[in-house]
Structure 1
Amino acid sequence: MAPDEPIRVIIRLTADREHIEDAARLLDSIVEPSRANPDCLEFRVFRDAGDPAVFTLYEHWTSFAANRVHAGMDYMAEFVATSDEIFTSEATFVHEINAIA
């Protein structure tokens, strides 16, 4: 993958059972600033239909570098600082994918 090619990222997070709604609010708090980033082509948060504690993020960025810049933004630092209290473990990086057709 060339560093300037668009990239899609899928991330899975599992909330502590006592903090499911806190997790939803925390994830919602990063949607608007993420989408406002001109290098963000798509940013969506999903909740698992069978387990309300499991969330999946689908991100589409103009490049890997753009995704790294996003990861270093203040709103993401706040998310990471708070997420330890809400999620049962670190995010599971599911896939980094690129379209071929």
Structure 2
Amino acid sequence: MKTFLKGSMTIYQGAEAHGEFATARLPDGIDHAKMVELYCDLVERGCLIREGIKYRLSLKAQFHLEDRARAPEEPRSLVPPRVRNFFAKPLFVGYSPLFPWRLAL
């Protein structure tokens, strides 16, 4: 979608601008029929407007992308997403955090 901020373009120009979505499973990218399907889906969603053989961003999508570009970047956390709970971690076999003085054998 960001490639359409430069202006309207055809499907072939879009494939040159943003690539053909090459992945490990599809090293050559997706075929032209899937690219047409993707563009038609974006037209149905209201993100693109078709003008002849060219596609351009709708005003709503353009304002949304410009707002996201102007918005300050969210602060990144240095803490990994999964933090171990050291209070629930047993210190040794039979240890319980509720009753640390009792040993369960």
**So what's the TM-score if we normalise by structure 1?**
0.22
Relative contact order higher in (CA < 8 Å, ≥ 6 apart): 1
Kindly indicate which of the two structures has a greater share of residues assigned to strand: 1
TM, length-normalised to structure 2? 0.21
